Chains A and B, each alone.
Chain A
Amino acid sequence: MQKNLVIKLAIITGILLMFLYGIFGIPSSLSGDGLKQAVLKRIHLGLDLEGGTHMILQVQVEEAVAGETDRAIDTIKEELNKAKITYAEISRDPNRPDQFVIKGLSTDSTSAVRTIVTDKLSTYLPTSGPNNTQIATMKPDVLAKLKTDTVDKSIEAIRQRVDALGVSEPVIQRNGLGGENQILVELPGVDDLNRAKEIIQSTARLELRESRGVYVSEEEARKAQPNGLIPPNMELLPGKSDNRVYLVSRTSVVGGTDIRDASAGTKSETGEPIINFYLNPEPAKKFGDFTEAHREGGPDPANLAIVLDKKVVTAPSIRQRITDQGYIEGNLTAEEAKDKAMLLRSGSLPASLHYLTERTVGASLGADSIRSGVKAAIAGMLAVMIFMLIYYRGAGINADLALVLNLVILLGFMGFFGAVLTLPGIAGVILTVGMGVDSNVLIFERIREELRNGKAPAAAVDQGFDRAWTTILDTHVTTIVSALILFFVGTGPVSGFGLTLIFGLLANLFTAVFVSRVIFDAVLSRKQRGAALSI
């Protein structure tokens, strides 16, 4: 054999070993079970095969935007009061959470208002509206970033919660092509679906707000207000465990993201379950100022409403200045305190979540899918291999070897990338077998044609590979393009299908063109000049 050929054979063997390592790693034992374990460690099964839950959640980003606008309104009110500019009303547009309107300004104050908005609210753009109004709109880039941040924070919070549940290898990521503000959550294995859903969805949004009264009903609350109207900066929230309604400020002094830590505990005097919370330094300072201003005997006494998920847990009066820590009490059970503390710790969700889809696959269903997938794969592969042997005789062995190597490389790729094998992915593997052998057919047919035209075997092989190459490249590129689109546009199983198809086609370019060429050369080098080629 020529030296050149030896080197090529060595390359092929090296690649074979490398990708075998990709599939199996270093198996602990060579028994059937040991090998199976080794493969599953490297190639993960998708939810449709392993069983598990796949959900898509919609983040209500508008809530976060509305919250931001409410805070902006508070700031602007303060600034307008400072500048002694009179106005009738400032309110958020109900249909546009990123916009607020200042009404009833005098004609000469509009430019001053615009300056204030520009100076004090760098994230809003003022424009003049009809009838001496000023409309401030959140800048588009700020709005986009706020939405992205909201989704990112939600993803982070969900991740911590799922980790706390002890789910192994969950997938938590942004869903869709962008701009949908959706989160994909995949929980492999089926453990305790209902609890998992509850914990993920629970916003656990803790807010500390100013409270100005408790009433037995909404009607009573309205009656108690001047003119029977709830002040625009206040709203009514229901109590968590009593049937009363609380008049609280729309904006919160302390929000979910301001909490540094939380833990469940018991009140030393009564043994009642409580949740201790600790604030970050910046909000702690703000909270200090707030409690100083509104404490009993302070300049403007008010109560402090502790609002959890838009329900008032309790609204005690403020005895003294509180800065960086406090606790929540009020009809909590021990388990509730524990769960809520965990949720507060993991960061509350910046906005609430809606379930858009939920797909569950039982483990036994997945096992069925694996069985039928593997059965189809083996049947398809055998059929193709036997056909090639019969149709191309000697060259058929060549093609079958290339096919096996193709499969090894494909699975090895998946092992190296830690890719996920789904049921459509198995179909992709099968399809790769079918398409992989296509390249061999193209080459072999061309060689046969050249042989028919009277070329010597070596020359015919040469020509066959040369001429078929452009065709093979073209066909692979087109299919890879489709597969790429599938990979990027598809979700879950479909994306897995695209991935196996891409890996398979890449592997095929190598095996069909390089490997089977080397095998031909090896066969030819052992033959007498002019001996017939078995094809």
Chain B
Amino acid sequence: MEFFRNTNIDFLGKKWYFLSFSLIFSAAGILSMLFWHGIPLGIDFRGGTVVEVKFADAPNNNAIRDALDKAGLHNAVIQTYGESSSNEVIIKLDLKETNESDLDKGKNQIINALETNPVQGKQNINNSDRIGFGAINKALATRDPMHAAPTDYEKYARQVLDVRDKQKSGILRNLDELKGAVPDPVIDALKQDFYAANFGIRGGDVVGPQVGSQLRTQAELAVGFSLLAMLVYLWFRFELIYGVAAVVACFHDTLITVGAFSLTNQEITLTVIAAILTLVGYSMNDTIVVFDRIRENVKLMRRESLAEIVNKSINQTLSRTILTSGLTFLTVLSLYLFGGEVLHGFSFALVIGILIGTYSSIAVAAPMLVAYTEWRVGHAAGTVALPAQGSKNKVRAKV
């Protein structure tokens, strides 16, 4: 089976279309970053509080908002999380409601606001972020309702968690739902330390401002460094102009990817930055495949102009460029579809980035190489000093 055989598309001839396509998308992203959604940073970078809550029944966002309003948290953002059948929401607070000296103040306020009838001195067993094996086992071992060996209580604790997390998908409506799974005296003992609210905190992040800005600097440094490292590597393997062209293409990909986050108003988190860094490396791959072929053809085809060589090289490698990207795209797509809410931003960045990265190696990097060379020839009329063809041919000397 073969998708592309002997294609002969004049890619360079379409460079103005490409240029306008790139410009439109970059400009749309930049405009959105400047005037519309800005760069929507996740709380990793911005600081703030996120709490993930699961409810026993379909949550009523208005009721939650009322409760939070009463607690004085007026700017809380409430979002449905995951599939609607999972009854989950995330509640976000801005940094100003996160006090540096009392970091989890906002988080505790949220928990208190949701708690419609708290039981003094007892803990909500559905708060799976803090009530795990250790807490239940300790409670049982201390109460010792069965006068049994410690290993028995460990077994009971596991069974309790099994019922809560697997059979009841994270929420016990009341502790009597444990009947049958563990002996009744164990349930009675648990009732002395725990109760079951109609919601449970599954997890949460609290990030203070200092770490946020620190991570921001780290992320910027990381992206900058990897672009620089690519430039240096390509300079070493090819020629400076190849490196510059590839890095410009990469920067173009990064810009459009970040622009896509801004346009769709999705938050850029730490894992999204990881995805973008991966893209910097990956989008280089396709560019290198094309560049490698250009370098090879420059040696073979001494009569043709660089434009013709580049065109031919792109066509020759088109099949593998599309296939490799297509296959990686398949895996990334499965991440996007099945990888769950946590990886959503990450896989979104990869989905966009791989599409743009493949496009840019054909439509940005290669034309730039030709444009630069033509510009140089135009300036140094007569002397044919193409970067990969001239007498001082570093590439040829190396191969």
Please list the residues of chain A having a beta carbon within 8 angstroms of any beta carbon in chain B: 48, 51, 56, 58, 176-177, 180, 182, 189-194, 354-365, 367-369, 371-373, 375-377, 379-381, 383-384, 387-388, 390-393, 423-424, 427, 430-431, 433-435, 437-438, 441-442, 445-446, 448-449, 467, 470-471, 474-475, 477-483, 485-486, 489-491, 493-494, 497-498, 501
Report if B115 contacts A (CB, 8 A): no
Report if B343 contacts A (CB, 8 A): yes
**Candidates B2, B222, B271, B323; contact of A493 at CB < 8 Å:** B271
**Candidates B52, B292, B331; contact of A433 at CB < 8 Å:** B331
Report if B104 contacts A (CB, 8 A): yes
Mask: chain B, 255-268; 1 = CB below 8 Å from A; 0 = not: 00000000000000
Bound Cα distance from A435 to B343, whole angstroms: 19
**Candidates B229, B270, B327; contact of A387 at CB < 8 Å:** B327
Bound Cα distance from A391 to B1, whole angstroms: 5
Q: Do residues A357 and B132 form an inter-chain contact, with CB atoms below 8 A? A: no
- A sample of 9 more A-B contacts (CB under 8 A), given A191-B138, A377-B334, is A362-B200, A375-B338, A383-B330, A427-B335, A441-B327, A474-B288, A478-B230, A479-B285, A497-B274
Q: Do residues A427 and B347 form an inter-chain contact, with CB atoms below 8 A? A: yes
Residue of B nearest to A433 (CB): B331
Name the interface residues of B333-372: CB closer than 8 Å to any CB of A.
Answer: 333-335, 337-340, 342-343, 346-347, 350
> In the complex, how many residues of chain B place their beta carbon closer than 8 angstroms to a beta carbon of chain A?
82
30 pairs, CB–CB < 8 Å, chain A vs chain B = A190-B133, A356-B100, A356-B210, A358-B206, A359-B203, A360-B204, A362-B129, A363-B132, A367-B165, A376-B339, A380-B332, A388-B327, A424-B346, A434-B331, A442-B289, A445-B323, A470-B292, A471-B292, A474-B288, A474-B292, A481-B230, A481-B281, A483-B281, A485-B222, A485-B225, A485-B226, A485-B277, A490-B270, A494-B271, A494-B273
Residue of A nearest to B273 (CB): A494
Q: Do residues A479 and B278 form an inter-chain contact, with CB atoms below 8 A? A: yes
Q: Do residues B335 and A361 form an inter-chain contact, with CB atoms below 8 A? A: no
Distance from A109 Cβ to chain B, minimum over Cβ atoms (Å):
44
Report if B214 contacts A (CB, 8 A): yes
User: Mostly helix, strand, loop or mixed at chain B's interface?
Assistant: helix
Bound Cα distance from A515 to B192, whole angstroms: 62
Contact A471:B130 (CB < 8 A) given known A438-B324, A482-B280: no
Distance from A440 Cβ to chain B, minimum over Cβ atoms (Å):
9
Give chain A residues whose Cβ lies under 8 Å from the Cβ of B329.
434
Give chain A residues whose Cβ lies under 8 Å from the Cβ of B127.
362
Give chain B residues whose Cβ lies under 8 Å from the Cβ of A471.
288-289, 292
Bound Cα distance from A356 to B212, whole angstroms: 9
Give chain A residues whose Cβ lies under 8 Å from the Cβ of B323.
391, 441, 445
Residue of B nearest to A494 (CB): B274
Report if B183 contacts A (CB, 8 A): no
Bound Cα distance from A177 to B324, whole angstroms: 35
Give chain A residues whose Cβ lies under 8 Å from the Cβ of B12.
none
**Candidates B133, B169, B229, B292; contact of A191 at CB < 8 Å:** B133
Bound Cα distance from A449 to B328, whole angstroms: 22
Give chain A residues whose Cβ lies under 8 Å from the Cβ of B221.
489
Bound Cα distance from A357 to B107, whole angstroms: 12
Please list the residues of chain B having a beta carbon within 8 angstroms of any beta carbon in chain A: 1-2, 52, 100-101, 103-104, 127-135, 138, 161, 164-165, 169-170, 200-208, 210-211, 214, 218-219, 221-222, 225-226, 229-230, 233, 237, 270-271, 273-274, 277-278, 280-282, 284-285, 288-289, 292, 296, 316, 319-320, 323-324, 327-335, 337-340, 342-343, 346-347, 350
Q: Do residues B324 and A431 form an inter-chain contact, with CB atoms below 8 A? A: no
Give chain A residues whose Cβ lies under 8 Å from the Cβ of B130.
190, 192-194, 360
Contact A379:B334 (CB < 8 A) given known A442-B324, A494-B271: yes
Distance from B320 Cβ to chain A, minimum over Cβ atoms (Å):
4
Q: Do residues B280 and A365 form an inter-chain contact, with CB atoms below 8 A? A: no
Contact A365:B211 (CB < 8 A) given known A380-B334, A438-B285, A478-B281: no
Q: Do residues B343 and A445 form an inter-chain contact, with CB atoms below 8 A? A: no
Q: Do residues A365 and B203 form an inter-chain contact, with CB atoms below 8 A? A: yes
Distance from A292 Cβ to chain B, minimum over Cβ atoms (Å):
42
Q: Do residues A356 and B211 form an inter-chain contact, with CB atoms below 8 A? A: yes
Bound Cα distance from A441 to B327, whole angstroms: 9
Bound Cα distance from A373 to B338, whole angstroms: 7
Bound Cα distance from A347 to B19, whole angstroms: 64
Contact A376:B342 (CB < 8 A) given known A474-B288, A479-B278: no
Residue of A nearest to B217 (CB): A177
Distance from A194 Cβ to chain B, minimum over Cβ atoms (Å):
7
Contact A357:B289 (CB < 8 A) given known A191-B133, A485-B277: no
Q: Do residues A380 and B214 form an inter-chain contact, with CB atoms below 8 A? A: no
Q: Do residues B337 and A376 form an inter-chain contact, with CB atoms below 8 A? A: yes
Bound Cα distance from A485 to B281, whole angstroms: 11
Distance from B24 Cβ to chain A, minimum over Cβ atoms (Å):
28
Give chain A residues whose Cβ lies under 8 Å from the Cβ of B233.
477-478, 481
Distance from A188 Cβ to chain B, minimum over Cβ atoms (Å):
10
Q: Do residues A479 and B281 form an inter-chain contact, with CB atoms below 8 A? A: yes
Residue of B nearest to A474 (CB): B288
Residue of B nearest to A364 (CB): B165
Give chain B residues whose Cβ lies under 8 Å from the Cβ of A479.
278, 281-282, 284-285
Give chain A residues whose Cβ lies under 8 Å from the Cβ of B204.
359-360
Bound Cα distance from A126 to B210, whole angstroms: 34
Bound Cα distance from A423 to B345, whole angstroms: 13
Bound Cα distance from A481 to B350, whole angstroms: 18
Distance from A451 Cβ to chain B, minimum over Cβ atoms (Å):
12
Bound Cα distance from A5 to B271, whole angstroms: 44
Contact A486:B274 (CB < 8 A) given known A364-B202, A427-B347: yes
Q: Do residues B205 and A359 form an inter-chain contact, with CB atoms below 8 A? A: yes
Distance from B76 Cβ to chain A, minimum over Cβ atoms (Å):
18
